[in-house]
Structure 1
Amino acid sequence: MLPCFSDKYEMTVVLGAHDITKKENSQQRIEVAEYIRHPNYNGGHGYDIMLLKLKNKATLNKYVKTIDLPKKDKKYPAHIICTVAGWGKTGQNKGSSNVLKEATEKLQFSFECKHIWQEYFHSEHMICTKFDKKTEGVCQGDSGGPLICKEKPLGLTAFTDKCNCSDPKYPHVFTKISFFLPWIKEEMQ
């Protein structure tokens, strides 16, 4: 989430990175040409998705690959093991990571997330996960990162408990990509 976002904000996307503090031969740095924020986004938790149009095409290779989006909006069963990744905090009261970290989390029933997150959780366009306190999963700084389940990107990291991202009582919440497929397709034309 970019609360102070402005259309004049300059951004560069870094692809193929492992250690973000180094210039690795695998990295591609491409400037963003256009930001397309979802029209229903109002600075809160809902509709927290943005498309980035790059100034140049990425070069696909062993470090940079595409991943297919889900085909349609559907419900996902709980307990599927998924992968999350990012350079965010490695736990509450810890700093961000210089190297890309990966963890596993399990999809959780939407009604459980609604019960805990109440008005912040909307099952039509959000999904959530359970996680193990030992492996922790996503935290602050991982927003926008992927939730990959069965080799498909199902979500984008949206929010955690801001006081303790590694408290298993508070499921991690993700923007559900499949809900936004019609909008994504319309904007890409």
Structure 2
Amino acid sequence: MSVPFFGSGAYVYFGETPFPEVLGVPLLVFGGFVLLVGWYIHLIAAPPAPTLREGEEIIASRHPTQKAAVMKILLGLPFLLLAGYLLFLTSVPYVYPTAGFAVGLYFFSTGILTYWTNSLTTYSITNQRVISEFRLLSLVRKEVPMDKIRAVRESKSPIEAIVGVGNIRVSSGTGAGLEILIRNVDAATDFAEKLRQYT
């Protein structure tokens, strides 16, 4: 995912383009950031399986799918390519390539962030609780006991509906109750039905 930024940054910086340092260096820096964080996340394992209590067993376990993240990344690429084309191969005002670059970078960056977050997240349903685990620098674990669950809601954004994934919100009540948002899982309805069987 860092290759487009390294490639375009090198082309701008070393090629005969206007303002090579102003445009090339930020692209190279962003490409380096994506590469370093990507390798760091690649080397970190997903969270370990939760420690089970006496009489507890795992009913279902899921990692978020990467479909929505890949769709956002792919959606950003045409805007980035269009921005490069408008900047270097046409004589339109700079506002047009800047706007295209901003839109493309937004979709590309949110896609990468979603990809990284999904890589380090695990959701588990046991016969006693629902568990959400995220591990980056440290392990963050949230859980809602089955006997405390008061609502299970499903939702899908337009991009998630296109790629066939969904989100499930599990809450223990109103106000300051416990809540877990299970994001970007395949077959979200089946996963929610397994959860409803124990509530």
Q: TM-score range by the shorter chain?
A: under 0.3
Task: Please state which structure has a larger fraction of its residues in strand.
Answer: 1
Please give the TM-score of this superposition, normalised by the length of structure 2. 0.26
Q: What is the TM-score with the length of structure 1 in the denominator?
A: 0.27
Bigger radius of gyration: 2
